[in-house]
Structure 1
Amino acid sequence: MDTKIVFNTDENAGSLYIMQVFSAKPALIWNHFTQSNLLEKWWAPKPWKCETVEMKFAPDGIWKYNLISPEGEKHYGALKYHEINLHRSFDFTEYFTDDKGEKIEEVPSGNWLVGVTGVEEGTKLTINIQYNSAEELQTILDMEFESGFTEVLNQLEELLHKKD
């Protein structure tokens, strides 16, 4: 279960590349990224919880969610979906919002491309995230993105193994 997560940054290009191989079928990984009831089970780093406000997984659709601390503190986010290639890839713009769901312009947003590919071991998940500049990427890294996203991917892996 301790699958290695590849996490590479290219500061000059303002981009991140994340890759992990899961011992699960591609359809299962796809579902955990595209269905709100499954996303809520792993998207927030523990002990935080994730709560869907609204979701429409479709081109030009959106997923608005809250991250809730054990003390009740809330952080708000959203994904705006673009192109979707069923069971293969999808891309979206992710951003932080205020409590009314409006984008917070001061925090960088990233353009994500998520790929799901069947491999001998199960499924290779690739994520490419592009920011507008090296400075925006550094802002996100300073917000402990790498450790936080590594944690949620590990939570996803644990959740998948519970289904075995």
Structure 2
Amino acid sequence: MPVTSVESDAEALTMTLVADFPVAPERLWAVFTDPRQLERFWGPPGWPATFEAFDFRVGGRAIYSMTSPQGESAGGVWEFTAIDEPRGFEVIDAFADEKGQVIEGMPSMRMVFSFDATPEGARLTNVTHFASADALEQVVAMGMVEGMTLATNQLDAVLQGLRDFAQGKGTQLEILDDQHVRITRLIDGPRELVWRAHVDPDLMRQWMLGPDGWRMTVSDVDATVGGRYRIAWEPEPGTEGEGFGFDGETLLIDEPRRIVQTEHMTGTDYPSTTNDLSFYEEDGVTLVTLLIEYPDAATRDAVLATGMIEGMEKSFQRMERLVLV
């Protein structure tokens, strides 16, 4: 992981994050000063950011919001106070409402972003300065350390480009913590078609089958917020196994970028998971990212032990071969 340390200093009233990357400092500068690239990592998994405004000049403001899988929104605003291209910049970071107005009573912080050359590439140093010990304690209690670490660790895919980062690697699994895993797969096709393949029942029946020898027998999908879905599979004659299925509710739709749904194994009392599926296109290929929230580590491990990743890879191969042609 790129992040090497995150340390808070109660005496200096600072929190310092350090991360190393195999790119030039100018590449880091470009990522942090382009709102479309910032949106791909500024926000921990499950809370992607959208920058509604980005006036990159001293005295200018950037306004952003982060949206949870349940549709909750948390906003922020940066006021740019210093710019030293390509070595770094400073902002006053504050909590903001849906109109981009600073929320009174919430702490504001001075954040300093520095990009320095190293023998291996570049180092990001992010120092956050707080006005008081109470402000520092408040944001730490809100999960700022974990959030910034998870967000910064998403930078690799942005810095390298999708083809270099993921092409030829198949379906990749990352265990983020006891409750969350992230699954990624680069698909050789445009985002609009990959999106349709995930929400169109006719297309789903062609590829979303897991290992060879299975068929989808139920594909009732209402891909609207609040809509329900149910999908089920049965083994083909000669294939061992028992039929199973899933049902759930669509919580959030941002076509063709993101869809969030609950997932429950039909006919069981197993707890539901929250599946946060996002799509990002670059240079004619689409990165599919699935963030799954499990109720606990035991459930996470039990599901992963079923061979889920191998089944997903078979399905994605089938999508590229049969659907995206």
Report the TM-score when normalising by structure 2.
Answer: 0.48
Is the Cα–Cα contact under 8 Å of residues 21 and 122 in structure 1 kept in the other structure? yes
> What is the letter of the counterpart of residue 111 of structure 1?
R
Q: CA deviation at 1:142?
A: 0.3
Deviations 1:80-135 (A, max 9, x none): 00110110011000011111211112111110111101111100111111101111
Is the Cα–Cα contact under 8 Å of residues 3 and 152 in structure 2 kept in the other structure? no
1:3-152 equivalent positions in 2, closer than 5 A: 3-152=2-151
Counterparts of 2:2 and 2:49, CA distance in 1: 24
SS in 2 for 1:115: strand
RMSD of equivalent CA atoms: 1.3
Q: CA deviation at 1:70?
A: 2.2
Is the Cα–Cα contact under 8 Å of residues 2 and 152 in structure 2 kept in the other structure? no
Is the Cα–Cα contact under 8 Å of residues 13 and 134 in structure 1 kept in the other structure? no
> What is the letter of the counterpart of residue 103 of structure 1?
V
More displaced stretch, 152-161 vs 31-40? 152-161
SS in 1 for 2:154: helix
Whose Rg is larger?
2
SS in 1 for 2:102: coil
SS in 2 for 1:82: strand
> What is the letter of the counterpart of residue 37 of structure 1?
R
Counterparts of 1:49 and 1:21, CA distance in 2: 22
Is the Cα–Cα contact under 8 Å of residues 3 and 153 in structure 2 kept in the other structure? no
Which structure ranks higher in relative contact order (CA pairs < 8 Å, sequence separation ≥ 6)? Answer: 1
Counterparts of 1:158 and 1:35, CA distance in 2: 15
Counterparts of 1:51 and 1:11, CA distance in 2: 32
SS in 2 for 1:45: coil
Deviations 1:21-79 (A, max 9, x none): 11112111111111101000111111222111111111111110110122222111111
Q: CA deviation at 1:4?
A: 4.3
> What is the letter of the counterpart of residue 54 of structure 2?
M
Count matched residues: 163
Counterparts of 1:18 and 1:141, CA distance in 2: 13
Q: Runs in 1 of length 4+ with deviation above 6 angstroms?
A: none
Counterparts of 1:159 and 1:34, CA distance in 2: 13
